[in-house]
Structure 1
């Protein structure tokens, strides 16, 4: 294998998922960061692109900047492994399991990692009367999440049976299985992971009901605090929990873990993201900057981790 800086990299971005627009921005930023580090980079929108073309382009390694289905769920990872092309981030299992909100919650639960109570709703079996039963089991407020979407797509809060029914109907447009999670009231944090290092914690503050798509990508009212104002002991504990969750799903290389703290002071793991947003203003770059890494150094480190057998 060639020395790392002599390798030709392809940045896969765009794609066809519901997160295409976010991925387009991530891919452009990653490519610029890699080029400034001295890499030869080919930026490839996978929408309408056949991965077999990578051989013809003499690509040595792939940086995956695809978010959501088809790019973050193990599909591209499996294809690249079949083609014997190294790539950044998690492998097939870690990608697929982390992308599946239901299965990853079951893993957290099995390992006694802290996560909110939940119910699983199948589109084929759901009846309107189920909404009231689910609310009775989980409390007066719940969060509804399509099992295989990211960027808060299809998610909504429900405070009564009618709202839950409508939220499920909306979520069924995105997925056949829906995670209904007991509402967690409290602050939300995110922890970027590089290899086996948890970066400084970020505390997100939004006036919205939760950190939704609008708060993430459109609103100018969302605040990001890093340092996060937790005590040193609390931040260390949260970083440890995040790293345990990351490893529990088989995630590798780099990623991000989202966690909330309820009113009783208990941590509640939300999910593991194996290809989080990577514009220069995204959460992972924000944490990396506080850690002491520029954006170019961050993307170079992610590539280096893939060369160290982290995929």
Structure 2
């Protein structure tokens, strides 16, 4: 760490979203890594008093370890901008765009990136009838970590019965078959392609439970597919206006070659837990977890 590196870092974690537990795990891991890198670290569980707490802490930089609504949708980024404290990951607009899956898709289409068809529909309508021909996926338009995912298989006789916790409007999109691939972008550089291998759907448990999935990096895919994932991830990062680190997820139908590669979504604040993908990709490039976290702190800024 150079003399110019800010010394005090507030790691903001937790918060009120459905992904609180994941955020706490991310925050603790990153706080430990930043201490190892030589920073003075204060851990902050984000609550209604976040502004007062940050003013008391007076950090040089905020490490944003929040996940889900309020933490990665532009809301807390606006607070950081108001306080004029540099923070990690994407700014207000990019965060808001990426968290709104449909608007992010609109951006991807404009950038010439491959996505599947989707619609925003009322939860009540989705529960009454098939709003598109199966197979399709139903999910919240503004959550992550595979929270609230329903897969309706081909030939299904009835629509899904959605939980009461699902929002009044949901995204319904054509199911994209194939392998789950993902690529992390760090600044303007793609780090690699991971093949996520599971026994079934890459759901919340598969993402965060030890042994829930196996990650193969570099992915054993044709060079054309590997290169496309790397290029598409950088283009998605740029199109949304992301900064710092992002991760873009894909599905690849091997039978269709390059035409079977579909961009699912871009995560502006990838998980940084022991089972997370972005730290593994950084390690694949020779970067330790502490160095990866330190890079994010050194890259921190405001949109202003």
Normalised by the size of structure 2, how large is the TM-score? 0.92
In 1, Cα distance between the equivalents of 2:288 and 2:282?
A: 7
Residues 273/233 of structure 1: CA separation in 2 closer, same or farther (3 Å cut): same
CA displacement 1:165-193 (0-9 Å, x = unmatched):
31xx33x6232321111111100101011
- Report the equivalent of 2:159: 164
Alpha-carbon distance between aligned partners in 1 of 2:158 and 2:214, rounded to the nearest angstrom: 28
Structure 2 residue aligned with 1:12: 12
Structure 1 position 114 matched with structure 2 position 114: yes
> How do residues 74-223 of structure 1 correspond to structure 2 at under 5 angstroms?
74-123=74-123, 126=125, 128-129=127-128, 131-135=129-133, 140-159=134-153, 163-166=158-161, 169-170=162-163, 173-208=165-200, 210-218=201-209, 220-223=211-214
Please state if 1:269 is matched with 2:269.
Answer: no
Mapped contact 1:288–1:294 kept (Cα < 8 A): yes
* Displacement after TM superposition at 1:229 (Å): 1.1
CA contact (8 A) 1:206 1:222 kept: yes
The alpha-carbon distance between structure 1 residues 178 and 3, as it changes in their structure 2 partners (threshold 3 A), is farther
In 2 relative to 1, CA 221–6 (structure 1 residues): closer, same or farther, beyond 3 Å?
closer
Q: Bigger shift: 86-95 or 265-274?
A: 265-274
- For these two proteins, the number of residue pairs brought into alignment is 299
Deviation >6 Å, runs of 4+:
none
Compute the displacement of 1:4 (Å): 4.2
Q: Is the 8 A contact 2:205 2:212 kept in 1?
A: no
Please give the TM-score of this superposition, normalised by the length of structure 1: 0.90
Give ranges in structure 1 of 5+ residues lacking alignment.
Answer: none
Shift of 1:216: 0.9
User: Conserved in 2, the CA contact under 8 Å of 1:69 and 1:149?
Assistant: yes
Show structure 2 runs of 5+ residues with no match: none
Report the Cα offset of residue 161 of structure 1.
5.7
Aligned-residue CA RMSD in angstroms? Answer: 2.0
1:60-109 deviation digits (Å, cap 9, x = unpaired): 11000000011100111001101111100100000011011111112222
CA distance in 2, matches of 1:95, 1:127: 27
Structure 2 equivalent of residue 254 of structure 1: 245
1:49, CA displacement in angstroms? 3.4
